[in-house]
Homo-oligomer: A and B are copies of this chain.
Amino acid sequence: MKRICVDMDEVMADTLGEHLRRYNDEFGEAVTREELFGKGLWEVVSTDRQSSLRAYLDDEEFFANLPVFPGAREVLESLSQRFDIYIATQAMSVPSSFRAKYQWLQRHFPFLPPSRYVYCGDKGILRADYLIDDLPRNLMRFEGTGILYSAPHNMTVSGFDRVNDWREVAEYFRDKA
């Protein structure tokens, strides 16, 4: 069976939503996804507030209750009949997230055994046929076929196959095996 690696943040989980919620709460702002078209949250936040953005991520609870993107569970469960699915997340840059990410995957994706989870840094280390990821730099390092999962920050990026949601992921793999 061919192998698909799937990124967690901004692909399976609405990480940006939680990041925005905490930022808007702390600073009384109302930054929306729409304002982040083509930009990362780090790019629109003033320098003196950057440490708060990082502090949210370093909170061990940050990743615990992230919403699952619609369809992620159903589509991955279906694809797992025809592909070997691995979850590959750059957790090494946020070590406080290790436990919450593990528990989140067990809770929402119980059909995937923990042996299919990969915490890494550089995604060039993954031996797989496909990688679904929102970060162009991860797809560049990956040696298989990279699939860009749309997120506000990557909307102006070209050069990759792109999927906008989990329905499109299912469609992308419909005739593949």
Majority-rule SS of A interface residues? mixed
List the number of copies, as a whole number: 2
Asked whether A114 lies within 8 Å of B127 as measured between CB atoms, the reply is: no
For residue A173, which residues in chain B have a CB less than 8 angstroms away from its CB?
Answer: none
| Chain A residues engaging chain B, CB cutoff 8 angstroms | 3, 5, 86, 88, 91-93, 95, 98-99, 102, 113-122, 124-128, 143
The 4 closest A-B pairs by CB, nearest first: A115-B121, A127-B127, A98-B98, A119-B119
- 28 A-B pairs whose Cβ atoms sit less than 8 Å apart in the complex: A5-B125, A86-B122, A86-B125, A88-B125, A92-B114, A92-B117, A93-B114, A93-B115, A98-B102, A98-B119, A99-B99, A113-B121, A115-B120, A115-B122, A116-B122, A117-B120, A118-B118, A118-B121, A118-B125, A119-B119, A119-B120, A124-B127, A125-B126, A125-B127, A125-B128, A126-B126, A127-B127, A127-B143
